[in-house]
Amino acid sequence: MKKVIVELRVSPGFDMQATMKMDLAKLEGFTIDQDYESVPVSPTEDLAASLAKAKEEVVLIRGEVEEDKEEELKKAPNVINVWTDARIEAFDEENPGGIEVESLQEGYEESGIDLEALETEEIQEIAEELLPPFDLELATPCPPTDCKPSAAKGTISDVAKYLRCDRLWAKGIRGRGIVIGICDSGVNKSKVPAFIGGWSPTTSYTPGTAPSTSHGTMTAFDAAGMCPEAKLYDIAILQSQGGISGLLSDAIKAYQWALNQYKKNKTPQILSNSWGMFQKAWAPDYACNSNHPFTRKVVEVINKGIIVTFAAGNCGSQCPSWKCSSDTGPGRSIWGANGHPKVITVGAANIKEEWIGYTSQGPACLDPRKPDFCAPSHFKGARSSDTGTSAACPVCAGVIGLLKSHDPSLTQDKVKEALQKTAKNLCAFGWDRNSGYGMIQGKAAFDFLFGTHIPIAHAMWTHGTSIHEEFPGRLKLTRRLGGYALFEGKPGTRNWFHFAIPTPVIVDARRLRLDSVMLMFLAHPDVWVTNVHIYDGAWKIESYDGLAMTGTHWFERFDVLNKYVRWGIGISIGVKFGTKNSRHYIRFVTAGADFVK
């Protein structure tokens, strides 16, 4: 038997009792799910006019049909079409590298290790040992690439700082008045106190009562981590199959519930979806057909004013989930509504700005320019490491919550544009099929949407040769060549480097304000800039801590919120030199500052 969604044209006031009197209810080989109340859905464009003329509407019911009876069902009176009611699952990256627990067990039988008894983190460590024996950096389309989900790169607080959400919090922008719907496997309300209610497809699950380790609890925690005053709905679409997976018909019902809530009280404002379909074969008519009822319901919800984010998926070319089977890599991993042009499709990178190699790559089946951008994953949050595009999607939803709380009139298109135009390039300049437009930047998107342009009065720069090291004894090499300074640190050491910026304090009888400082530097892979502190004379006026910036950084801007200058601007840069068997170089090219009146 095949699970199906049946699309019907009916008269207003239609209900399930009326369905059972139809000819299709008597069709041998087809069983209607009488517990599934019919759901209205917008018609396809080619049917809209004829339905309006006949004063009819479209509703959806679900059931099961013998596959050899499906064509007969499609021809039944009132039936517009019959669609696959596909299985959907959370994009949880608990097992990296495409390695199944069963195949891992085969390799460990002789050792007597029972993988079924191990914790997730232990399975991850074993799987990571068995990643492909080639040079990932040579093979990847986006170096450097992260394929180690068990290794957290910072905490959820570090993520908020990296995205500059803390700068928005300091302005009082914390998500007040926003409700984010967490469409997932269920939320634990003791772990996520922002919970205020929700919906479930089954009476066996009450919203808010999921395990504290559930996938839904993780995604809710991550959204709240960016948007601390937002409230959360537990929309547990993945509960119908035991809290592990669900059906597209459940998602349709959930979206209708969210739409009804929105019509009643304008909540939720955002729906975060960290789930999807791992393989096209699960439902080809959903994967690549924008007329599938669920995809139409998503578009309907967006058109009514709710912002919708979807995880891109975990079937990227470098270390895909084993669930993807052969559907991995570019053009074979973003299916259905996850890749619809109107949806915000979120890939994953870490805060070290390493692309995460299982991020599903475009083109999507419904849009050639997907994903839209990346958001952070692989950080310590609700779990020891919150992983997958599953973690990235609610982080993005939380950032959107901050923007939406400042201006409730923001639309899906406007938010997407702001995040795209202010994203930081990761894999290429502009858009690319691996990372979209790059990593989202919370405060930069806010400034794009709401910032009043203040003309720069003065911009001052100094060469890298003017920098001074604080601890010369911790360095193996110091050279000043042309306009830059090159330092080689001793392995395992930390150091501070200091720039003095020429500072025009008073211009035209007016005291200037510092808008931002900028740095240009290049660090070897085992060297990181961890701190940037900004001083006016002896007073620290701004600090950026918890950074992990390595590689090439041709232009890094650090905002200072336009503070008046009284003495002279200095920049102190904390650097960590790693312990790998390599040269530990960092090259400082230049530093500067922008001043406004």
DSSP 226: H
pLDDT above 70: residue 68: yes
Which of the pair, 126 or 265, is modelled with greater confidence? Answer: 265
For the residues 268-288, what does the mean pLDDT come to? 97
For the residues 519-527, what does the mean pLDDT come to? 95
Q: How confident is the model at residue 597 (pLDDT cuts 50, 70, 90)?
A: confident
> Count of H helices and E strands in the chain?
15, 30
Question: Which one-letter amino acid corresponds to residue 421?
Answer: K
Signed CA dihedral, 519, 524, 529, 535: sign only: negative
Give the pLDDT confidence of 89-115 residue by residue, as tens digits: 999 755 444 333 343 344 344 444 454
Structure tokens at 484: 């830059």
Q: What is the pLDDT of residue 277?
A: 96
pLDDT above 60: residue 129: no
Q: What is the pLDDT of residue 457?
A: 87
CA distances from 123 to 99, 104, 214, 215, 348 (A): 10, 9, 17, 17, 22
Residue 87 neighbours by CB under 8 Å, 6+ apart: 241, 245, 246, 247, 277, 282
pLDDT above 60: residue 361: yes
What rounded mean pLDDT belongs to the chain? Answer: 90
Q: What is the pLDDT of residue 93?
A: 58
What percent of the chain is modeled with pLDDT above 70? 91
pLDDT above 60: residue 578: yes
Alpha helix stretches (DSSP H) within 44-155? 45-54, 70-74, 101-108, 120-129, 136-139
Q: How confident is the model at residue 454 (pLDDT cuts 50, 70, 90)?
A: low
Q: How confident is the model at residue 172 (pLDDT cuts 50, 70, 90)?
A: confident
Q: What is the pLDDT of residue 559?
A: 80
Q: What is the pLDDT of residue 217?
A: 97
Of the candidates 443, 398, 438, the residue with the CA atom closest to the CA atom of residue 218 = 398
Question: Which one-letter amino acid corresponds to residue 424?
Answer: K
Of the candidates 310, 294, 322, 300, the residue with the CA atom closest to the CA atom of residue 373 = 310
Structure tokens at 587: 């090259």
Lowest model confidence (mean pLDDT) among 297-306, 319-328, 549-558? 549-558
pLDDT above 80: residue 121: no
For the residues 205-231, what does the mean pLDDT come to? 97
What is the Cα–Cα distance from 479 to 54, expressed in whole angstroms? 82
Of the candidates 322, 329, 313, 332, the residue with the CA atom closest to the CA atom of residue 374 = 313
For the residues 9-29, what does the mean pLDDT come to? 87
CATH architecture of 456-596: Sandwich (2.60)
Lowest model confidence (mean pLDDT) among 37-41, 455-459, 466-470? 455-459
The number of C-alpha atoms within 13 Å of 441 and in the hemisphere containing its C-beta is 21
Q: Quick one: three-class SS letters along 5-62?
A: EEEEEECCCCCHHHHCCCHHHHCCCEEECCCCCCEECCCCHHHHHHHHHHCCEEEEEE
Residue range(s) occupied by CATH 3.40.50.200 in the chain: 151-450
Give the pLDDT confidence of 477-512 residue by residue, as tens digits: 999 998 899 999 999 999 999 999 999 998 888 899
Q: What is the pLDDT of residue 485?
A: 96
Residue range(s) occupied by CATH 3.30.70 in the chain: 2-85
For the residues 218-247, what does the mean pLDDT come to? 94
Q: What is the rounded end-to-end Cα distance, in angstroms, of the chain?
A: 72
Q: What is the pLDDT of residue 341?
A: 98
The number of C-alpha atoms within 13 Å of 110 and in the hemisphere containing its C-beta is 1
Fold of 2-85: Alpha-Beta Plaits (3.30.70)
pLDDT above 60: residue 130: no
Q: How confident is the model at residue 395 (pLDDT cuts 50, 70, 90)?
A: very high
Q: What is the pLDDT of residue 150?
A: 92
Residue range(s) occupied by CATH 2.60.120 in the chain: 456-596
Please report how the helices 412-422 and 442-450 are oriented relative to each other, as an axis angle in degrees rounded to 10. 120
Q: What is the pLDDT of residue 48?
A: 92
CA dihedral 358, 342, 393, 84 (to 10 degrees): -70
CB 363 within 8 A of CB 333: no
Q: What is the pLDDT of residue 128?
A: 45
Q: How confident is the model at residue 544 (pLDDT cuts 50, 70, 90)?
A: confident
Structure tokens at 185: 């496997």
What is the Cα–Cα distance from 350 to 549, expressed in whole angstroms? 11
Q: What is the pLDDT of residue 115?
A: 43
Give the pLDDT confidence of 368-386 residue by residue, as tens digits: 999 999 999 999 999 999 9
Cis, peptide link before residue 363, omega less than 30° from 0: yes
Q: Taking the domain 151-450, which CATH number applies?
A: 3.40.50.200
Q: What does the chain come to in residues?
A: 597
Q: What is the pLDDT of residue 453?
A: 61
Question: Which one-letter amino acid corresponds to residue 188?
Answer: N
pLDDT above 50: residue 135: no
Q: Which helix (H) or strand (E) element contains residue 299?
A: helix 293-304
